[in-house]
Amino acid sequence: MSILIDQNTTFIIQGITGREAVNLTRECLDYGSKIVGGVTPGRKGREVHGVPVFDTVEQVIEHNGGAVPDGSVVTVPPAGTRDAVFEALHAGIKTIVVVTERIPRRDVAMMVELADAKGARIIGPNCLGVIVPGVAKMGGIGGPARNAAVAYQPGSVGVMSRSGGMTTEISSTLTAAGLGVSTAVSIGGDAIIGSTYAELMPFFEADEQTEAIVIYTEPGGRMEAQLAQWVKDNDSRLPIIAFMAGKFMDDEEMQGMSFGHAGTIVEGKEDSATEKIARLEAAGIPVVQRIDEIPDLVKAKIAERSAA
């Protein structure tokens, strides 16, 4: 089992002829994903690694005999992202991975609001997508298929991360320790994202393969507070372990600066690393100091739960 995508998931790539998108297409195909078309306005008739390119999402659907793809990976420049996502949503696509970074918050909020109204889900923006080890990946997560195979082996731990690169670092550590990964989601590093930790928890909760959750977090935003609240409100069967990067940003001389991702800008006391760690721990979510401490703690927590 898995969350968000599985071996049958079909998706398209909007902006497929861009340099990064061409690589991403190759990687996903090699990994076994089902890409049923690509869209770049004005490039109808081309092919990218055998994937036919169209001018509109509507044309892709027509080409596939009216079958609406399950998902779309959107990798178009920031000024055009909102429009591309709206196009996918209007076509009835339900899972949209937005790779593009530097999208103004207003556009992200509009995309998310429309997705909610249409019963669709957005992952990202500013993310690398979703991977179900050994099954499929949707987005650049893990890189080329042979690299992804090294870092991601199927297993029992669900991973959610605000950093794309750290999704792979953590998953690789879990893989090396023999735990493996059920589904890993790069949720994006922006101030507003389509799917937060707390919003994805019910999916992992329903996934039998997942026995524990590891999250990578940063300063900025209230997403961790939302997760802490979710844990308090729901009697989850899943132990959660967190890693917090960017503690140095709490120093006085670092105030007002943002590092790493746009979303790390601290806009209030609650957004600081110290405050978040306290909040997570109060909700029973241990925050480790080092990534390499994660596997042993995951094993201990799983053993604890199965003994109870």
Partner 1 sequence: MRFFEYEAREIVKRAGIPVTDYGFTTDATEAKEIAQRIGGPTVIKSQVLTGGRMKAGGVKFADTPEEAQAHAKDILALEINGHMPRGVLVDPKAQVEQEYYAGVVWDGTAKKPLMLFSDMGGIDIEQVAEEHPDHVGRGHFSTLEPFSDFQAKQVIAAAGVTGRALQRATPVLARLARLFLENDMTLAEINPLAELKDGSFVALDAHMEMENEGMPRQKALLGALGIGAQEGTREGHTPTAFEEAVKAIDAADHRGVIQGKDTGFTGNIGLVIGAGGGSLTLTDAVRQQGGKPANYSEIGGNPSVAKACGLAKQVLRLEGVEKIAVMMSIVSNTRVDIVARGVIKACLELGKDPGETIAIFRIPGAWEEEGFKILDSYGIEYCDRSVSLWEAAGRAVAKIEKAAA
C-alpha–C-alpha distance, residues 240 and 157, integer Å: 10
β-strand pairing of 287-288 with 212-217: unpaired
Only one of the segments 37-45, 66-74, 239-247, 298-306 lies at the binding site for partner 1 (rule: CB under 8 A); that segment is: 239-247
Residue 90 annotated in active site: no
> In the complex, what is the shortest distance from the CB of residue 30 to partner 1, in angstroms, rounded to a whole number?
13
Only one of the segments 36-44, 53-61, 165-173, 232-240 lies at the binding site for partner 1 (rule: CB under 8 A); that segment is: 165-173
Which one, of 140, 153, 219, lies nearest residue 182 by Cα? Answer: 153
C-alpha–C-alpha distance, residues 118 and 96, integer Å: 12
> In the complex, what is the shortest distance from the CB of residue 308 to partner 1, in angstroms, rounded to a whole number?
30
Q: Does 136 engage in binding with partner 1 (CB under 8 A)?
A: no
Q: Does 135 engage in binding with partner 1 (CB under 8 A)?
A: no
C-alpha–C-alpha distance, residues 237 and 35, integer Å: 34
Nearer to partner 1, 186 or 209 (CB): 186
Cβ atoms of 12 and 58 within 8 Å: the answer is no
Nearer to partner 1, 35 or 249 (CB): 249
Chain positions 263 to 302 lying near partner 1, rule: CB under 8 A, are 263-264, 267-268, 289-292
C-alpha–C-alpha distance, residues 97 and 122, integer Å: 6
C-alpha–C-alpha distance, residues 209 and 40, integer Å: 37
C-alpha–C-alpha distance, residues 46 and 23, integer Å: 16
- For 300, residues 6+ apart whose C-beta sits below 8 A from its C-beta are none
- How far apart, in Å, are the Cα atoms of 106 and each of 21, 109, 113? 25, 5, 10
Q: Which of 44, 63, 90, 106 binds partner 1 (CB under 8 A)?
A: 106
Count of residues in the chain = 308
Q: Which of 39, 85, 112, 132 binds partner 1 (CB under 8 A)?
A: 112
Q: Does 50 engage in binding with partner 1 (CB under 8 A)?
A: no
Q: Does 25 engage in binding with partner 1 (CB under 8 A)?
A: no
For the annotated catalytic residues, the residue numbers are 261
Residues at the contact surface with partner 1, assessed by CB under 8 A = 20, 23, 78-79, 102-106, 108-110, 112-114, 117, 140-144, 147-148, 151, 161-166, 168-169, 172-173, 176, 189, 191-192, 196, 216, 218, 221-223, 225-226, 243, 245-249, 251, 253-257, 259-264, 267-268, 289-292
